[in-house]
A and B are shown apart, each in its own frame.
Chain A
Amino acid sequence: MAIVISDLRKEYKDTVAVNGLSLEIRDNEIFALLGVNGAGKTTTVKMLSCLAKPTSGDAEVMGYSVVNFPEKVKAVIDISMQETAIARNLTVEENLRLYAAIRGLGKAEASRRIDELSRSFGFGKVMNKKGKTLSGGWQRKLSIALALLSKPAVLFLDEPTLGLDVIARRELWNVISALKGTMTVVLTTHYMEEAEKLADRIGIMKDGELIAADTAENLKACTGSATFEDAFVALVSKGGARI
């Protein structure tokens, strides 16, 4: 298993953001965490990527506890956040070189990885453009490319296509699909179509709790729904019954 989550809980003052989350995510699987706003998806990703400490419970990422060995976890993961996290006044190439240096890649290795990513993401024309001059789609692509530089065992993508137009969204879907089988990807989204198209399995969160986790086909079958959107609505409006 790439990720084993055991009774994970996160409280912020009076709010329980994640409540008793237990889940296993397999090696090289694309797993989508789906839910409406405030369901606890981003908080879950923050705990798994050591950005937030769990109030209780634990999770192992590639065998390392996020509570006891966050440095070991950070060495095997990477993340692309909801908001684009790039250096705005640096060019695409400078962003990639900066992040390669931060991730400890040697010069030769960094150049090799940047060439590979430049080809697969099609950065050729924008390589010398500054981050702030890129369109939203290109900024998001760059953000994901940065996360892939160090070839992480686990990649977290938090709402990767939020706010993008349909063309940019489809292009990013192709990028994410290409990762299938090469690394474990945990993707948060509130787009049904995105989860259904990209993910091997989908976990549905509501009010901080995981109420279902299975393939899109099985979730449709067990709710007797014709579409995945209907299955999602049926599950979320059930009042938390777990599947």
Chain B
Amino acid sequence: MRSVKRILALAGRNVKEILRDPLSIIFMFALPVAMELMFYALFSSAAAQFAISLLAPGMAVFGQAFITLFIGILIATDRTSSFMIRLYTTELKSYEIILSYALAAIPAALIQGVAVYAAAAVLDISAITWHVIPALFAGIIPTVMFLSFGILFGSVCGEKSVGGVSSIIVTAQSMLSGMWFPPEGLSSGFLKVMDILPFKNASLVITSVFNGETSAESTLIPCLIVLGYSAVVFIISVFVYRRKMVQ
């Protein structure tokens, strides 16, 4: 019970640290919403790719990629500012500290999802159905993957380098998710890479749930791929984090 209280207290602090950082507000909330509004206004009449049914869930997942950046920055900053060292002089265990970072990302991702879907409702209310609720919560699946990357990068990178390294994930989610362009016309090799990596699969899961599709091909298989990546990256990040802390 004391362990749960400690984890929740620290997770609460981590949520506040993320939400009170003006850069988090800009990148996690304002940027995805602004991009959603801009791309809808500019391209929705020209390309089906930018209809709210595809744009909103794609943008929700794209926004979540910034969780890698902010969890990474938070951990790297805590390491360099001695806050982490202070935690290790208490009865807190490594797994409690890792869980507190992980738990902090989930409410942040949910708030972000609400912002993106609320903007979508303003743009095209007809595209919003009750499926937005499961889509919002399904967003926790890619969130786990992104926060795992954040824990990994925050554990190995310094305060200054973690931003650059994390931007690889943000760029990958943007370029390899297929949200900006239809996959038709891309080379088969590139499509294969997109299928194997988790980024397109993450977008596919949320887009399918958002649009009420339930086939195995559109939800279950991509979901399993994302969960697989999440599990692998999370295990590696926990291992690396503990190793760095022992050092």
Residues of A within 8 A of B (CB): 49-51, 71, 74-75, 77-79, 81-90, 94, 98, 101-104, 130, 146
Contact present for A79 and B81 (CB under 8 Å):
no
Contact present for A86 and B83 (CB under 8 Å):
yes
Segment of B2-10, B176-184, B195-203 engaged in the interface with chain A: B2-10
Contact present for A87 and B17 (CB under 8 Å):
yes
Complex contacts, B92 vs chain A, CB 8 Å: 102
Is B90 part of the binding interface, using a Cβ–Cβ cutoff of 8 Å? Answer: yes
Partner of A90 from the list B5, B17, B81, B82 (CB cut-off 8 Å) is: B17
25 A-B pairs with C-beta separation under 8 A:
A50-B88, A50-B89, A51-B89, A74-B91, A77-B89, A78-B89, A79-B86, A79-B89, A81-B86, A83-B81, A84-B81, A85-B81, A85-B83, A86-B83, A88-B77, A90-B13, A90-B16, A94-B16, A98-B10, A98-B13, A102-B9, A102-B92, A103-B90, A104-B2, A104-B91
Q: A101-B5, A101-B6 are in contact. Are A51 and B88 (CB under 8 A)?
A: yes
Smallest CB separation, B27 vs chain A (Å): 16
Smallest CB separation, A133 vs chain B (Å): 12
Q: Chain A: which residue is nearest B92 at the CB level?
A: A102
Which of B10, B77, B82 is packed against the most chain A CB atoms within 10 Å?
A: B82
Q: Chain A interface mostly helix, strand, loop or mixed?
A: loop
Smallest CB separation, B16 vs chain A (Å): 6
Q: How far is the CA of A50 from the CA of B86 in the complex (A)?
A: 11
Q: How far is the CA of A46 from the CA of B181 in the complex (A)?
A: 54
Residues of B within 8 A of A (CB): 2, 5-6, 9-10, 12-13, 16-17, 20-21, 77, 81-83, 85-92
Complex contacts, B85 vs chain A, CB 8 Å: 51, 81, 85
Q: Chain A: which residue is nearest B10 at the CB level?
A: A102
Q: How far is the CA of A136 from the CA of B92 in the complex (A)?
A: 27
Smallest CB separation, B161 vs chain A (Å): 19
Complex contacts, B16 vs chain A, CB 8 Å: 87, 89-90, 94
Contact present for A88 and B6 (CB under 8 Å):
no
Smallest CB separation, A160 vs chain B (Å): 13
Smallest CB separation, B89 vs chain A (Å): 5
Complex contacts, A74 vs chain B, CB 8 Å: 89-91
Complex contacts, A84 vs chain B, CB 8 Å: 81-82
Q: Chain B: which residue is nearest A87 at the CB level?
A: B13
Contact present for B91 and A82 (CB under 8 Å):
no
Smallest CB separation, B10 vs chain A (Å): 7
The 4 closest A-B pairs by CB, nearest first: A101-B9, A85-B86, A85-B82, A83-B82
Smallest CB separation, B24 vs chain A (Å): 10
Which of B9, B12, B86, B87 is packed against the most chain A CB atoms within 10 Å?
A: B86
Q: How far is the CA of A132 from the CA of B99 in the complex (A)?
A: 25
Q: Chain B: which residue is nearest A71 at the CB level?
A: B91
Q: How far is the CA of A78 from the CA of B90 in the complex (A)?
A: 7
Complex contacts, B82 vs chain A, CB 8 Å: 81-85
Q: Taking A94-B13, A98-B10, A102-B90 as given, write out 17 further A-B residue pairs in contact, using a Cβ cutoff of 8 Å, ordered by the A residue number.
A: A50-B88, A71-B91, A77-B89, A78-B89, A79-B86, A81-B82, A84-B81, A87-B13, A87-B16, A89-B20, A89-B21, A98-B12, A102-B9, A102-B92, A103-B90, A104-B91, A130-B20
Q: How far is the CA of A102 from the CA of B7 in the complex (A)?
A: 8
Complex contacts, A94 vs chain B, CB 8 Å: 13, 16
Complex contacts, B90 vs chain A, CB 8 Å: 74, 102-103
Q: How far is the CA of A94 from the CA of B9 in the complex (A)?
A: 10
Q: How far is the CA of A92 from the CA of B21 in the complex (A)?
A: 17
